[in-house]
Amino acid sequence: MTALPYETIRRRITEVAPALEEGIRRTAAHPARHREGIERTLLRLLRARFGPLEAAIEALVAGAHSDDLDRWCERVLEAQRIDDVFDD
């Protein structure tokens, strides 16, 4: 997969940020919904950054603990490769 230029990523994240922020705000009071919101956010960020995702990545995200999802959301912004997001 080819990484997108930083400015392209920044613009795309800025475009989706209001919707993501609203979703997080609405679900913060409900832990299960909150986790689902983080999962959806991470998948959107990964797709924006790296393009279509392999089924294995989607499965990894679906089965992840919320702490992992939070950490991966932070990493996706600076990762050069999708593997950088998940490497510990």
Query: In the predicted model, is pLDDT for residue 88 greater than 90?
Result: no
Domain ranges in the chain?
6-79
SS (H, E, C) the chain: CCCCCHHHHHHHHHHHHHHHHHHHHHHCCCHHHHHHHHHHHHHHHHHHHHCCCCHHHHHHHHCCCHHHHHHHHHHHCCCCCHHHHHCC
Using CA atoms, how far apart are residues 58 and 8, in angstroms rounded to an integer?
A: 23
- The token duo for 57 is 């990545």
Query: In the predicted model, is pLDDT for residue 29 greater than 70?
Result: no
What pLDDT does residue 35 have? 84
Give 31's pLDDT tier (boundaries 50, 70, 90): low
Please state the pTM of the whole predicted model: 0.66
The whole-chain average pLDDT of the chain stands at 85
What pLDDT does residue 15 have? 78
What pLDDT does residue 72 have? 96
